[in-house]
């Protein structure tokens, strides 16, 4: 095809490989040995042509599968019309997307950015600004949960509850306090008039695929109402249909003041959003917050197509059906391999297999063995195998993945 490459773009892909990563990339990641080159739905092919079944969806991002035709179409159509303007101008896709998101949720206002971390950064800044203007600068403490994950900017890693992500980056932003997840008494003890926000993932993702209890989210709502703090739900991972509801808060019947969403919102095209009410949104004025790319027409046209595709009763009903089938499969595997797995937990198509005590710390080994069988799965920490397949996963693919994981476990146990 490319006998005479004229630029880097024309270089056949075999000219770069996994080893190239170690010579030209800042080593913030340790990627798998395979380099994917093409994907369709949940099927993916690497440089050597080997096929994989993708049950990671790019970490809960490509929820409509790879190269979904309606999303590709929305992208291509918008790409030939208008990509970018800057915030001195608004545009039709961003207004339509804001309308769709506010029609579909508790929210009345939307702010757009490019990632989950940026959506949370906006939420935390807005909560501080709101509290300072309503009550004064003493009201600035943020409560968040142990093991929470909110992104990688300095503010969001500091609010996140995993010390391994802040070590070495001190000094950190202050007035942040961590409480154990799902512990109502601890939340009550930590709450007070100096708290501006309580932030929580309705289903903790990176922290181990752990759903909040209804009582816990209700208690946080009450605490916020009593103290004037804002309740922030980080739905970056669990939102956009992942749990079988458009947003997980809808399953719980507990409404936040601010909701952050990203990941699946663009199905792989970078976009994030912070959703809130008019009364809270008015504490941000022109110039108080922003980002160059936020709300650009290209990202918004894609996200609008994603929301319109996912937010139908039929689509969300199918997510629940697929969830029940996958749960059944994982529970059967856990029962058949009790030396490996202790339990299965999660919500919708966000499921985790918790390792048994005798297998602690070995999640990565299992995911690598699965990959060798052609199944891509994630881990959440070293003790949980994490399943986040595209929401369009078929019954046949769930059965196929079941067989692949069993084969991987048999190989792993035989070599031990
Ligand atoms: C992934 C994630 C983030 C960060 O999103 P980025 O797009 O990587 O910045 C924040 N919160 C949760 C719950 C996430 O899963």
Q: Which CATH class is domain 70-310?
A: alpha beta
pLDDT at site 137: 95
Give residue limits of the domains in the chain.
Answer: 8-61+313-414, 70-310
The answer to whether 336 is annotated as binding is no
CATH-assigned architecture of domain 8-61+313-414: Alpha-Beta Complex (3.90)
CA of 382 to the centre of ligand 1 (A): 19
Looking at residue 1, what is its pLDDT? 41
Predicted local confidence at residue 252, as pLDDT: 98
What mean pLDDT value characterizes the chain?
A: 96
What's residue 416's pLDDT? 72
What's the pLDDT tens digit per position in 18-44?
Answer: 999 999 999 999 999 999 999 999 999
Q: Report, as ranges of residue numbers, the positions in the chain whose pLDDT lies below 50.
A: 1-3, 5
Q: What is the pLDDT of residue 2?
A: 44
**Whose structure tokens read 């509801």?**
245
Q: How far is the CA of 149 from the centre of ligand 1 (A)?
A: 7
CA of 14 to the centre of ligand 1 (A): 32
In this structure, the residues whose C-beta lies within 6 A of any atom of ligand 1 are 115-117, 120, 149-151, 201, 205-206, 234, 236-237, 262-263
Q: Does pTM top 0.95 for this prediction?
A: yes
Residue 237 alpha carbon, nearest atom of ligand 1: 15
């Amino acid at each position: 095809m490319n006998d005479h490459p004229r630029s880097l773009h024309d270089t056949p892909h075999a000219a770069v490989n996994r080893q190239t990563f170690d010579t030209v990339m800042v080593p913030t990641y340790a990627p798998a040995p395979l380099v994917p080159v093409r994907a369709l739905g949940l099927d993916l092919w690497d440089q050597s042509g080997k096929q994989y079944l993708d049950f990671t969806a790019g970490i809960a991002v490509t929820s409509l599968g790879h190269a979904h035709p309606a999303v590709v179409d929305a992208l291509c159509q918008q790409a030939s019309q208008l990509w970018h303007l800057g915030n001195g101008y608004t545009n039709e896709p961003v207004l339509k997307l804001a309308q769709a998101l506010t029609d579909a949720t508790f929210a009345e206002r939307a702010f757009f950015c490019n990632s989950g971390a940026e959506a949370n950064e906006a939420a935390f800044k807005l909560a501080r600004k709101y509290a300072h203007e309503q009550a004064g600068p003493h009201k600035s403490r943020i409560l968040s949960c142990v093991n929470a994950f909110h992104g990688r900017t300095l503010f969001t890693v500091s609010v996140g509850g995993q010390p391994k992500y802040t070590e070495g980056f001190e000094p950190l932003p202050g007035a942040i306090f961590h409480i154990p997840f799902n512990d109502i008494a601890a939340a009550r003890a930590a709450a007070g008039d100096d708290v501006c926000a309580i932030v929580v993932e309705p289903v903790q993702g990176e922290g181990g695929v752990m759903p909040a209890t209804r009582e816990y989210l209700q208690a946080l709502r009450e605490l916020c109402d009593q103290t004037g703090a804002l309740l922030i739900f980080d739905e970056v991972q669990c939102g956009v249909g992942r749990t079988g509801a458009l947003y997980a808060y809808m399953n719980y019947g507990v409404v936040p003041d601010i909701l952050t969403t990203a990941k699946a919102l663009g199905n792989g095209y970078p976009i994030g959003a912070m959703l809130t009410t008019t009364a809270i949104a008015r504490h941000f004025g022109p110039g108080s917050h922003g980002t160059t790319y936020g709300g650009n027409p290209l990202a918004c046209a894609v996200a609008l197509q994603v929301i319109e595709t996912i937010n139908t009763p039929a689509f969300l009903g199918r997510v629940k059906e697929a969830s029940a089938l996958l749960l059944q499969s994982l529970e059967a595997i856990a029962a058949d391999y009790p030396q490996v797995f202790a339990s299965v937990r999660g919500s919708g198509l966000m499921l985790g297999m918790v390792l048994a005590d005798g297998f602690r710390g070995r999640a990565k080994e299992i995911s690598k063995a699965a990959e060798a069988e052609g199944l891509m799965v994630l881990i959440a920490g070293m003790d949980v195998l994490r399943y986040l397949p595209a929401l369009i996963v078929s019954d046949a693919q769930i059965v196929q993945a079941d067989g692949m994981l069993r084969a991987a476990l048999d190989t792993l146990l035989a070599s031990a």
